[in-house]
Structure 1
Amino acid sequence: MQVIAVAILAGCVGLSVSVPHSFDLRGTHIQEPCNVYEDVSHSYRSDSYDFAVKFYKAVAHRSIDFNFVYSPLSVWLILAGMAEGADSLTRQQIFNLLSLPYDDCTRQKYYQLATSHIVQADDIKVISNRVLLLDAGVTPNPTWYDIVNKNNLLDVLTAPIRHNPTVTVKELKKLLRAELPKINIEGNSVILDTIDYNALWTTEFADARIERSPFHDQAGNKVGFVDLMKITKRARIGYVKSLKAKMLELPVGENERYRMVFAIFPESKDVRASFDVVSIEIVFEMFESFRESHVPVEVAIPRLVISSEHDVRALIADMGITSLFDDPEATRNVSHPPALPSSFIQRATLTLDNHGLHSSPPAQAAPYGTPTGLDPKVGNDFIADRPFLYALFDAETLTVMMASAYSVPTYKN
């Protein structure tokens, strides 16, 4: 986990990494060593998709303009970390929400899969900060602290939240690059979650093929303009019958180690309603639908930067998780006195640019009438000039790292 911003914050407002104290808080948690040799990758994918879909629907329900980005993975990891120190009832509620296995060692395998590909490298930058910020004087349970630290679930830091709240919030906003309009620091802790994505496509979109183009709403009305990045190449495109959605998969990074998946809904006038039926099975159907075109096809997606802040506390309260924030008994195994986070805020930022590792192939259209080898519903192009959904997946585990809905053009009418 990257904690650059938080490390700087420690110097600015007197934060320090909490040092576990030698007190005894009982709890049954992951023990060492864990020897689980079975392959849990399929069950992990299915369970992680279950939460990603539920959380997506919660975010979409609260979105006014249906234009947002979030990280289900980051929230999943933080909640898993808090659950490891929760009382039995809260722990059960969170495990059920996250579809986490109750077997300690299997759960640890899930954690390893979930955190193994959050990287910062020359080709891909995914900078993630997941922090439980405790007020000075609140002492973390060393057993719990050891679990979340070893499994890379979240960081635990302290700050003068009650003694100097104004400076604390000011520095948090500056260093985490967040507005934090809904942050509440009246409790003895807050949960802060930031994730930034900026990466190189495996194949670049040529500068010369970026065009200022109209962007439409789902009914076909022009609502503004976007800078469409265009490329003509053989591409992986699919059609998901359950959603009546046209899908595109673009590789990201060296050796195509990430995938960006886009979805448009040409047969629907309501993208929100179209996604309401999404389930775990449909996510698997999506990946099975992809076929590489036999000939080059036209692909065009907007160049954009999108950033969102989410009140995760309110979102998971909608899903029935409340004791984590208002019941001291629920977090008695996290710290002493029990941590009662007054806020849980996520700020996510995602950048899509035209830069890539390999040069764009020369634009070369296929001869007229040449079959593409794709589903007839797909046609011979993928042009994202109307509301679309997209998500970032790790290519090995197919974990949903970030997801977004785009409906507000860069340049409005």
Structure 2
Amino acid sequence: MLHIITFLLAASSCLCDVEFSARSRNFSIELLYFTQAEADGHVVISPFGIWTLMTGVALGATGESYKQVRRAFILPKNPASVVKGYRDLTKAVLDPTTNGVTLTSKNYVFLDDDFAVYPEFRRSVQNDFDASVKVIDFNDPNSAARIANNYIQNSGGGRVSNVLRSEDFAESRMILTNVISFKGLWTLPFNKTETTRKPFFDENKQIVGEVNMMYNRGPYRFSSIKDLQAFVLELPYGNDNKYSMIIILPHNKVKLVDMYQNFAKVSLVDIVQRLKDDEEKFGVTDVDVQIPRFKISTNVVLNKPLNSMGVYDIFEPDLAKFERVSQEQIFVSAIVHKADIEVTESGTVASAATSAIFADRMSTPRFDANKPFVYFIMEMTTNTVIFGGIYSKPTVY
């Protein structure tokens, strides 16, 4: 039995064209759509982390199992190209040079001590997938979980704790894990003194709760996109415009589900390009921004969302083909996704932004995220979605 688990963590204190950038982008929209159905609409996931994990799955899959994963995640037919694309994209996305942003992604493979994998597969996950491989006795699940979690923390997992549980080892032969962590400081921090408790509305304009609403005025990229039926705002992190949060807020009287369907004709690349085009045409405009301070945690089994994307065989004992991994007949029992995101003022009082608060507000556009919205944390040079989610259930955080 092949039991694959992924743990993906985002913690925010405000928190070259690459071949795979479009691939990662396109499946991100689809994956978020199907996952939110399993998480009751209020969700955060890491498409990049899931893509990383599924690339590791693809390294071992063969036959129809590989074809289904390849189609869902738009991977090349040639496994060698999968490896090259993985290395190119991860190198671009995980660039550590941006001040104010910390982003790490670590891969781990835990093997039961009596489970023999082919040497070529082990070399591939270590050298091509950059995975740390650890052999553990799975017969003692409590001990195995303790050893695995200590190994993750001591080898780069850092702030993440208790990634794996004892029950994860009970019926498993091998566990693949991706641990991803993002922390970003806003380029224009929000001022804590401007944060006030305000109502949050549903799509029928009914008050459904309250939030701590953060406020800032600053020169942000901002557009109203008719074909998407939404307003779009870019909130950059760090100092070089490499990482940003893109918030997509439906127009008045447009429901989130209807807006989301417009992604079929308006891609994230289109959205980013529109933000750039509007900046070139009109310059960067001061925008009055209000967004909730929030924290979301999601723990969801991805089997059904992946089924909806056409991935079936890897979960079926009689159909799964992992002939590159082992001579044993193995399958994926579950892919578990855990993600957290925290969005706050960043703890820094904005100086330049604070002075702008006193400017004339009559002609300043407003972006009021006081109803359900979609958000993406993106690496902007490759248009790769690192984290994405939907905010629809208000809480005072």
TM-score (norm 2): 0.81
Q: Say if 2:113 and 2:136, in contact at 8 Å, map to a contact too.
A: yes
Q: Which residue of 1 aligns with 2:116?
A: 139
SS in 2 for 1:250: strand
Partner of 1:101: 76
- The residue type paired with residue 272 of structure 1 is V
Per the alignment, residue 52 of structure 1 pairs with 28
Residue 336 (structure 1) shift: 4.7
Letter in 1 for 2:53: I
Q: 216, 219, 222: which is aligned to 1:231?
A: 216
Instruction: Give the number of the structure with larger relative contact order, counting CA–CA contacts within 8 Å between residues 6 or more apart.
Output: 2
Give the match for residue 156 of structure 2.
Answer: none
Determine which of 275, 284, 309 is the counterpart of 1:319: 309
Task: List per-residue Cα deviations over 1:301-330 (Å, max 9, x = no partner).
Answer: 112221111212332233332332324861
| TM-superposed deviation, 1:407 | 0.8
Residues 187/178 of structure 1: CA separation in 2 closer, same or farther (3 Å cut): closer
Which residue is equivalent to 1:71?
46
Structure 2 partner of 1:308: 298
**Distance change in 2, residues 1:107/1:395 (3 Å):** same
Aligned match of 2:102 in 97, 114, 125?
Answer: 125
Q: CA–CA distance in 2 between the matches of 1:385 and 1:256?
A: 26
2:257 & 2:116 partners in 1: Cα distance? 44
Q: Aligned partners of 1:81, 1:258: CA distance in 2, in Å? A: 25
Q: Which runs of 5+ in 1 are unaligned?
A: 7-38, 373-379
Q: 1:355 is matched by which residue type in structure 2?
A: S
Q: Is the 8 A contact 1:77 1:154 kept in 2?
A: no
- Cα distance in 2, alignment partners of residues 59 and 113 from structure 1: 27
Report the CA distance between 1:334 and its aligned residue: 1.4
Partner of 1:408: 393
Q: 1:65-87 deviations in whole A, cap 9, x for unaligned?
A: x1110011111121112112212
2:332 is equivalent to residue 347 of structure 1 = no
- Measure the CA separation in 1 of the matches of 2:56 and 2:128: 9
**Residue range with higher mean Cα deviation, 47-56 or 360-369:** 360-369
Whether the 8 Å CA contact 1:115–1:152 is kept in 2: the answer is no
Classify the secondary structure of the residue corresponding to 1:201.
coil
Is the 1:50–1:279 Cα contact (8 Å) retained in structure 2? no
- Stretches of structure 2 lacking an aligned partner (at least 5 in a row): 1-5, 8-15, 151-159
> Letter of the aligned partner of 2:105 in structure 1?
S
SS in 2 for 1:139: coil
3-state SS of 1:256 partner: coil
**Residues in 1 aligned to 2:147 and 2:225: alpha-carbon distance in whole angstroms:** 46
Moved more, 172-181 or 193-202: 172-181
Q: Structure 1, residues 139-196: CA drift from partner, whole Å, max 9, x if none? A: 33222222232333644433333x1124445777896446979958423234444433
Question: Secondary structure of the residue that 2:172 maps to in structure 1?
Answer: coil
Mapped to 2, the partners of 1:222 and 1:144 lie a distance apart of 54
Distance 1:321 1:283 in 2: 24
DSSP 3-state at the match of 1:254 = coil
CA contact (8 A) 2:107 2:129 kept: no
Deviation at 1:337, TM superposition (A): 3.2
Aligned partners of 1:213, 1:180: CA distance in 2, in Å?
Answer: 39
1:363 has 2:356 as partner: yes
Q: How many residues align?
A: 365
Counterpart residue type for residue 309 of structure 1: N
**Matched letter for residue 115 of structure 1:** T
Match for 1:196 among 181, 193, 213?
A: 181
Q: Does 1:215 align with 2:200?
A: yes
2:128 equivalent in structure 1: 151
Give 1:387 shift. Answer: 0.8
What is the DSSP-based 3-state SS (H/G/I as helix, E as strand, rest coil) of the residue aligned with 2:187?
A: strand
**Contact (CA 8 Å) 2:231, 2:251: kept in 1 or not?**
yes
Q: 1:185 to 1:350 in 2, by over 3 A?
A: same
Q: Which amino acid aligns with 2:346?
A: H
The residue that corresponds to 2:369 in the other structure is: 384
User: Could you tell me whether the CA contact under 8 Å between 2:269 and 2:383 is conserved in 1?
Assistant: no
Equivalent-residue separation in structure 2 for 1:89 and 1:140 (angstroms) = 21
CA RMSD of aligned residues (A): 3.2
CA distance in 2, matches of 1:394, 1:164: 41
Matched residue type, 2:324:
N
C-alpha contact 1:189 1:341 (8 A) present in aligned 2: no
- After superposition, give the CA deviation of every residue in 1:252-277 in whole Å (9 maximum; x if it has no partner): 12322201100111334531232133
Q: In 1, are the aligned partners of 2:302 and 2:335 still within 8 Å (CA)?
A: yes
1:332 aligns with 2:323: yes
- Partners of 2:303 and 2:148 in 1: CA distance: 18
Q: Deviations over 1:25-52 (max 9, x none)?
A: xxxxxxxxxxxxxx763x5332222211
Are 1:396 and 2:381 an aligned pair? yes
Partners of 1:204 and 1:115 in 2: how far apart? 28
What is the percent sequence identity of the aligned residues?
A: 22
SS, match of residue 246 in structure 2: strand
State the TM-score, normalized to the length of structure 1: 0.78
Q: What is the letter of the counterpart of residue 212 of structure 1? A: R
Q: Give me the whole-angstrom Cα distance separating, in 2, the residues matched to 1:181 and 1:278.
A: 40
